[in-house]
Structure 1
Amino acid sequence: MKWFVLFLMVPVCFAHLNVYLSSAEVWRLLGLTAELFYVREGQINFYALNFVVPVPATIEELHFTWQSLTRRPLPYTLHVEVVSHQEAMHTPEFNITSEGFVPTEPQTWQVTLPCTHVVAAEVDITISLNVSTGSSSTTLHFRRRKICLKEAPRPAVRVDTIPHAPTSADIFYAGAGCAGGVLLIAAIGAAACRARARKLRRARSDEQDAHAFLPDSSCKSAASYTSYRRPTSLPAAAAEERARDLQQRIAELTIQRCRVRLRSVAMEGTFGRVYRGTYADEDGREQEVLVKTVAEHASQVQVSLLLQEGCMLYGLHHERVLSVLGVSIEDQTAPFLLYPWGSTWRNLKQFLLACRGVTVGGAAGTAPPPPPLTTQHVVRMALHALDGLLYLHSQHVLHKDIAARNCIVDENLRVMIADNALSRDLFPADYHCLGDNENRPIKWLALESLTKRQFNPAADVWALGVLLWELTTLAHQPYAEVDPFEVAAYLRDGYRLQQPANCPDELFAVMAYCWAMSPDDRPTLQQLQIFLRDFHTQLTRFV
């Protein structure tokens, strides 16, 4: 990657100068529809100056707009230097002369960033722009980070221009196509309905013979949305192997029901329940636990999902990951999943709602209101979640459901990532079924996960950006105004979540970078960690 630092020295002439990024440039880089001013009629945007704007691999030039507000042009000098990884980039070039005058009308100039494609690197670059009034001059610092890949990147997916307005010819052909399509769809739908009816009859027959807790490999329940590396369909041998693996995990985690004591209900859904309680080991020592279970009327599908999702983090040990402690299964009773629990721990989404005075269900509503969260708190909590996700990825585990509802927080604002067992039941407003029999967190999913069922580390990065947005907004609902059926088209058209109130520009730019259209253009967790740590350090300097 390359860093760009722009130096502009104009203490006296600041009131007579504008330097900014146009709305088209901000849209290209960050997917936002707004201008970004560095200097506006003497007012300096220090947030913008301190933020390192990442430049995706698909973008090879930067555009800056400037204007002298005096009656005469202001003299300037330009200089560019590649600070690091010179082998990854050819010498950057301007489309204007290195010396001249800032025009009195708005003008956009360009810096070309030609990658060599010989090595992959993040290159630091410094662009120096000196503007003077004769007796004085000033320098500003604009930083950029350019991603250079070893091979030429694919063209950017997002369309940067507004689509053309439909003409009468477009409408005619579209109408004719739709008419023909309706007939074709009707024929296909009739055949699909007959096939689906036969499939449902087979599924009901298989369900009757299913194991008390583990579904048969042909059971449709496996298609319900679950996290962690679960494919949409599995060969029979692989499904049997997965079932045996789950049985082995349950056998290793099994504890005696008599050692578990339930005290109070922490959360309750339609069929799921979460209790606070205690667990006594063989030596009689008790510890606080959280118990996830289901009600008596829960179906075998719901029971099996509880076990599958609750055991997915079994065997993982990290201070930022909450893994299952034990499982209790007894005949004719609902299974218990035990998690280590602290007296001050709370569900992160419930905690954020309480921070803005929203009463949540269960006993958690009686807890004292939390203190106000600052930007420092938000960044530190995001770093905790990021550390946990880094560990999961190091263990080759994709979470696939990173969100505030699947995290916990203690009184010291330390965050841990948990599994998503019972989340669909306890937080039903966060999950939607689009007619495909899968209840998924639509508004947290990356575009490729939503449309193509593709999950990768970059998809978890997208969800982490939404989690950061939740932290900043105190658990407001993302895309609250967008119908779940329209989310895919909304994202494909380039729209994203809006910048929350009181959210620093550089923090929101991180979120926007996480929501890049192409997975290759999103930052890695290591890159996010470096930036958030640096940003947190900057924040602490002013407190």
Structure 2
Amino acid sequence: MNPSTWITFLIVIIFPYSHGYLNLYLNLREVQRLLGLEAELYYVRDGSVNQYALNFVVPVPSKIDSLQFTWENLAGYPLPYSIDVTANSAALYPPQLNISATGNVPRSSQIFSISLPCTGLAAAEVMITININISVSHNNLTSLVLKRRKICTKLEKVPSSRVLIDSMPSYSKSTNIFYFAVGTAAVMIIILALFVILFYVRNKKDKRTVEYNNRPTSSFLTTMPRNTVSSTYNESCRSVPSYSLLDERSKDLQERIAELTVQRCRVRLSSVVMEGTFGRVYLGSYTTENAKEETVIIKTVSDHASQVQISLLLQEGMSMYSLNHKNVLSILRVSIEDHTAPFLLFPYKNTKNLKMFLQKCKLSPEGVSHTLTTQEVVDMALQVIHGIQYLHKKHLLHKDLATRNCVVDDKLKIQIADNALSRDLFPSDYHCLGDNENRPVKWLAIESLLHKTFSTNSDIWAFGVLLWELTTLAQQPYIEIDPFEMAAYLKDGYRLAQPINCPDELFAVMAYCWAMSADERPTLTQLQVCLQEFYTQLTRYV
């Protein structure tokens, strides 16, 4: 049984004998850090001891050098404790508690930690035993034994500073700390001075760059080959130069781009599909290695776009890199050359933006271009759920799920896309709340709006808004609410109203997604079951 299955099993099964004197558990962040799961793991809950959880040996990866536990005294009177941590191995330094080894369990929820630094002298799996004894009464002692398996790797060179500090006698540590602090301050002063000098040099360089860029140049669109590329394109194509991202830390992103890069001469633009202030979406084609021409959607920016906008296009456009699912639109190729805007190529199968498609379904002087039935709406919602489930299994959060970031074909097949250029192409859907960041305020979960925290549950909130968009043919949510008042509006319990002609069953699913507490929102599996059952009921009457 793998760790994920074990933890799911351990969270559910708890011994029924409750005394209500103690909580001891791993919080959401700790379980996510150790096991990559969105859950809490209780060893003792309201006095009930989870023996299954105690018997489970939790693996601790080499990159994690500390453990965290959350506990709380529920008894209403002092609960004395003693903690002993043992680990005998040359691969691990003696574990250290950040609290005293004996004392009383705190009466409010608090976190204590145990440091587990590896020595780097040997590679080993070190078994760590944590003994926690809690005196419930004079004749009642609760003993909890928790085990961890710490992975340590051998380093080619062990940091000498660590060995020296740990081997020093206690009376000399304070003196060395003083000298260390003085030395650190001196280094910081030197670094600050270097930073000022570098800033001055960089500023002068930027001024020269601006002067150079302001010289008359031809648009990157006018330098593109207009004719169909022949099978001998390799002979005429220039080699692709390196491209420096604004975010130098994004080394992984640069490696991904390198894998997908094609020469610019293999790409041909046909017509503009969408256009914003600086963003453009084209219909075009590119020639494959087999000299076969393939129709694609091309995302790019205009020649006056800033480096920040170019960097955002690449980062957000590459977020769906190497994904393979029928309900996810993954990037196909990238074309980058010096002094031109990057091209991001996506597969095209007669698809169109979902929001624009829904808006065209509304009544117009020419009539109705397409009438969506409730059955079709539910089927489209189920496809979105399948796509989000796939993303979450790949440990990816979308963070901007909406109809504007989906595409649909003539058979109403949905694909979830990235949010590259969305802020520019759909400016009315994004707002800045004084933090210099455009966000989809009216699609955000309450915790994302207040604290900028995102999780699978925040994606589920956004799915509820997307479902509301499907039933209203892409009306603007909360159109009467000022963006600055959204947080207060949601905290007071207000939500989107039930759309006209929206079945109660469908609106109940939306409302379920907008629970104030993230933990009370449904899982994607629960949403899938509810919508699938409703879809089955609808098909019986067709």
Equivalence for 1:378: 377
**Percentage of pairs with the same residue:** 62
Superimposed CA distance per residue, residues 400-435 of structure 1 (whole angstroms, 9 cap, x where no aligned partner): 000000000011111010000000000000000011
* Secondary structure at the counterpart of residue 320 of structure 2: coil
State the Cα distance separating 1:216 from its structure 2 match.
Answer: 4.0
Query: Match for residue 353 of structure 2?
Result: 347
Q: Indicate yes or no: 2:444 matched with 1:445.
A: yes
Contact 2:243 2:337 in 1 (8 A): no
C-alpha distance in 1, partners of 2:15/2:361?
47
Residues 1:513 and 2:512 are matched in the alignment: yes
Quick one: distance in 2 between partners of 1:419 and 1:397? Answer: 12
CA distance in 2, matches of 1:421, 1:402: 12
Compared with structure 1, are the counterparts of its residues 260 and 441 closer, same or farther at alpha carbon in structure 2 (3 Å cutoff)? Answer: same
Q: 1:303 to 1:483 in 2, by over 3 A?
A: same
User: What's the counterpart of residue 402 of structure 1?
Assistant: 401
* Cα distance in 1 for residues equivalent to 2:14 and 2:536: 31
Q: Distance in 2 between matches of 1:272 and 1:407?
A: 17
- Tell me, in whole angstroms, the C-alpha distance in 1 between the residues paired with 2:278 and 2:298: 14
CA drift of 1:342 comes to 1.0
Q: Per the alignment, do residues 476 and 426 of structure 1 end up closer, same or farther by CA in structure 2, a change over 3 Å counting? A: same
What is the root-mean-square deviation of aligned Cα atoms in Å? 3.0
CA distance in 1, matches of 2:501, 2:370: 17
* Residues 1:497 and 1:399: Cα distance change in structure 2 (over 3 Å): same
Report deviation, 1:487.
Answer: 0.3
In structure 1, which of residues 256, 269, 276 is the aligned counterpart of residue 263 of structure 2? 256
CA distance in 1, matches of 2:47, 2:392: 30
Instruction: Tell me, in whole angstroms, the C-alpha distance in 2 between the residues paired with 1:301 and 1:267.
Output: 21
Distance 2:378 2:500 in 1: 16
2:355 maps to 1:356: no
Amino acid at match of 2:308: V
After superposition, the Cα gap between the structure-2 partners of 1:216 and 1:410, relative to the gap in structure 1 and judged at 3 Å, is closer
Alignment pair present for 1:427 and 2:426? yes
| 2:324 is the counterpart of 1:317 | yes
Aligned to 1:531: 530
The runs of at least 4 aligned residues of structure 1 exceeding 3 Å deviation read 85-89, 115-119, 201-213
- The aligned residue for residue 247 of structure 1 is 254
SS of 1:311's partner is: helix
Are the counterparts in 2 of residues 213 and 300 from structure 1 also a CA contact under 8 Å? no
Give the corresponding residue for 2:287.
Answer: 280
CA contact (8 A) 1:313 1:419 kept: yes
Q: Which amino acid aligns with 1:334?
A: A
Which whole-Å CA distance do the structure 1 matches of 2:201 and 2:517 have between them?
A: 38
Name the SS for the 1:475 alignment partner.
Answer: coil
Report which of the two structures shows the higher radius of gyration computed on alpha carbons: 2
Any idea what SS the aligned residue of 2:415 has? strand
Q: Distance in 1 between matches of 2:391 and 2:484?
A: 31
Contact 1:212–1:300 under 8 Å retained in 2:
no
Flag the 1:501–1:280 CA change in 2: closer, same or farther, 3 A. same
Greater relative CO (CA pairs within 8 A, separation 6+): 1
Q: What's 1:64 paired with?
A: none
Is residue 542 from structure 1 mapped to residue 541 from structure 2 by the alignment?
yes
Read off the aligned partner of 2:411 and give its amino acid letter.
N
C-alpha contact (below 8 Å) 2:298/2:344 kept by paired residues = yes
Structure 2: unaligned runs, 5 residues or longer? 1-11, 17-45, 51-73, 75-195, 210-241
- Residue by residue over 1:478-502, the C-alpha shift from the partner in whole angstroms, topping out at 9 and shown as x without a partner, is 0000000000000000000000000
CA shift for structure 1 position 214: 1.2
Tell me how far apart the structure 2 counterparts of residues 207 and 369 of structure 1 sit (CA, whole Å).
57
- The residue type paired with residue 281 of structure 1 is T
TM-score scaled by length of structure 1: 0.56
- In structure 1, what residue type is equivalent to 2:245? L
Task: Give the SS at the match of 1:312.
Answer: helix
Q: What letter matches 2:469 in structure 1?
A: E
Instruction: Evaluate the alpha carbon distance shift between residue 454 and residue 269 of structure 1 in structure 2; reply closer, same or farther with a 3 A threshold.
Output: same
Count residues in correspondence.
Answer: 324
Quick one: structure 1 residues 535 and 261, their matched pair in 2 at CA, closer, same or farther if it must change by over 3 Å?
Answer: same
